[in-house]
Copies of this chain bind each other. A is one copy, B any other.
Amino acid sequence: MKIALAQINVTIGDFDGTAAKIKSYVQQARNGGAQLVVFPELSITGYPPRDFLEFDDFVERAGTVLEQLKPLSRDIGILVGLPTPNPQPEGKNLHNTAVLLYGGREIHRQHKTLLPTYDIFDEYRYFEPAVSWNVVEFEGHRLAVTICEDLWNLGNENPLYTVNPMAKLMAQRPDMIINLSASPFDYRHARERIRVLRANVRAYDLPIVYVNYAGAQTDLIFDGGSLVIDKEGNIRKELPFFEEKLDFFDTENFTRPGQDRERPKEKIPLIHDALVTGIRDYFGKIGFRSAVLGLSGGLDSAVTAVLAAEALGPENITALLMPSEFSSESSVTDALALVRNLGIRAESLPISPVFDATMEMLRPYLGQGFDVTEENIQPRIRMIYLMAFSNRFGHVLLNTSNKSELSVGYGTLYGDLAGGLSVLGDVYKTEVYALARHINREREVIPQNILSKPPSAELRPGQKDTDTLPPYEILDPVLHLYIEERQSPSDIIRQGYDAALVRRILRMVNRNEFKRYQLAPVLRVSPKAFGMGRRMPIVAKYLE
């Protein structure tokens, strides 16, 4: 049996566009001689549809698309995913369902059993789990159709579920596992996925065909990497990362010994490609073409500009240089060198005249001091400039804050924390350096001076990040242990970090939840990003 793996990139709720795309891929699959074409989880709605699932109208429109697909299945099996109403009066109103169409009608449906409800996932918010499991016979094969998480209760040290749908399906002697997935990228995920799928191959002695999404949905980036794994655990096919792609695999090949053809998976290049995908799809899917950002001469805005230029084209990037009296001369020259290297547009707008006018109005009320008040006014004036360009020219403002500063609240609300999309909000400062070195691997795109000078917000004379924060080489690992690993202060201290410093860092993290709450969506590249996947109380007293 020749199977087409349709690793598509869709827009959530774009029923007409998605239906057209699925139809076109069915046609291509048929033209390529496939007997079966497999799409990702909830392929008709896109993933994650979130609370659109609470609208009956939304679910009905997905059902209408399924009806439209039936006539196309006369001579090819079409395996798609969609939300379907739960006919039982008790339990959640929907199932997360895979449907196999063939011969112009539905020949099989299987609901999802394991409903991920952690991190960015909310599936039990909407779906009732399956309570029955059936293998389907198709073209001489016995297919165990599973949906994403259904295979993920295996090979884990922390199994989250008390049932295992594959174990149930094994009673009906399947000869192949098909998995429709919606598995968002993080820098560990592509490896993790293969580990878990191989654990299934080993446990059930079956080959797996796994189809994932490509492309970004706001903050979530789907990396594709769809897979065919044989019974020996060899990767017979791994589709490209981050790209929409149709590819074919003939199950006849399982009868011949095969080689493992795994693609390389390096953390920093993957993060780079993920972020470019995230920017490109955020703009493309909401119909914006151009971005504006502030270029400070520092590292974060430089890396953001490079990624944006790659995603949208340099002609669609406008950079504003907005020096103040505290900006060093190299800030401007470094930023201008980057502008030349990238070929993006740039304008220079000093903030002093507006800063002075603002202070003249405020002085009678605030007095003569210079503290965080005056520091914060500067990035807020920059925001006004940037948003004026956004409003007038339809550019989206890109936020350039990194994960280290967001973690400890080192940023100004409605100032440098502004923006429609946070590009580096899930990338620690030490990782931003690594990204910059990766960008510069063949030629100096980011001027070397930007990489070598000490980081500074330049909001008061001679300011350095290290005036307020520990060095990033210490800060970042402590943040990682707390945020990604959820370790306690005592666990972290036990690893050799200074106790007072650890407590100070965790206190900063917890006290600045209110700032992150108002942040733009953050492109997620780590196992624990700020946003929907990390839900913390704002008013609380834990570790404060």
Binding site for B on A (CB under 8 A): 11-14, 17, 46, 48-52, 54-58, 88-93, 117-118, 122, 124-125, 128, 153, 158-162, 216-218, 281-282, 285-286, 347, 349-350, 353-354, 356-358, 360-362, 365-367, 369, 371-373, 376-377, 380-381, 383-385, 387-389, 391-392, 413-414, 418, 420, 486, 488-491, 514, 517-521, 532, 534-543
A-B contact pairs, 28 of them (CB 8 A): A11-B540, A12-B541, A12-B542, A13-B541, A17-B541, A49-B540, A50-B535, A51-B535, A52-B536, A56-B486, A56-B488, A57-B488, A90-B159, A91-B160, A91-B161, A93-B158, A117-B117, A128-B162, A216-B539, A285-B541, A353-B357, A353-B361, A354-B361, A387-B414, A414-B418, A517-B520, A518-B518, A518-B519
A217 to B362, CA, bound (A): 34
B93 near A12 with CB under 8 A, answer no
Q: Which residues of B contact A385 (CB under 8 A)?
A: 358, 361-362
| Contacts known (A92-B160, A388-B377); A383 close to B353, Cβ less than 8 A | no
Query: Once the chains bind, are A538 and B517 in contact (CB under 8 Å)?
Result: no
A89 touches B159 (CB 8 A): yes
Find chain B residues with CB under 8 A from A532 CB: 535
Asked if residues A541 and B51 are in contact (CB atoms below 8 Å), the reply is: no
- Given contacts A13-B542, A520-B518, is CB(A362)–CB(B383) below 8 Å? no
List of B residues within 8 angstroms of A518 by Cβ = 518-520
Contacts of A520 in B (CB 8 A): 514, 517-518
Copies of this chain, how many? 2
Q: Which residues of B contact A218 (CB under 8 A)?
A: 537-539
In the complex with contacts A365-B389, A392-B371, A11-B541 CB distance below 8 A: yes
Q: A281-B539, A347-B365 are in contact. Are A380 and B383 (CB under 8 A)?
A: yes
Q: A13 — which chain B residues lie within 8 A by C-beta?
A: 537, 540-543
CB–CB B384/A377 < 8 A: yes
Distance in Å from the Cβ of A348 to the closest Cβ of chain B?
10
| Docked pose: A539 CA to B50 CA in angstroms | 12
Residue pair B365, A542 in contact (C-beta under 8 Å): no
Given the interface contacts A91-B161, A347-B365, A488-B56, does A537 sit within 8 Å of B387 by beta carbon?
no
Question: Among B93, B122, B536, which residue has its beta carbon within 8 angstroms of that of A51?
Answer: B536
Known contacts A13-B537, A389-B365, A537-B50; A383/B521 CB under 8 A: no
- Using Cβ atoms and an 8 Å threshold, which residues of chain B touch A358? 354, 357, 381, 384-385, 388
A sample of 17 more A-B contacts (CB under 8 A), given A17-B541, A124-B124, is A52-B537, A52-B540, A56-B486, A91-B159, A122-B122, A122-B535, A218-B539, A354-B354, A358-B381, A365-B389, A366-B388, A376-B387, A377-B384, A380-B387, A387-B414, A514-B520, A518-B518
Point out the residues of chain B lying under 8 angstroms from A367, CB to CB. Answer: 392
Chain B residue nearest in CB terms to A13: B542
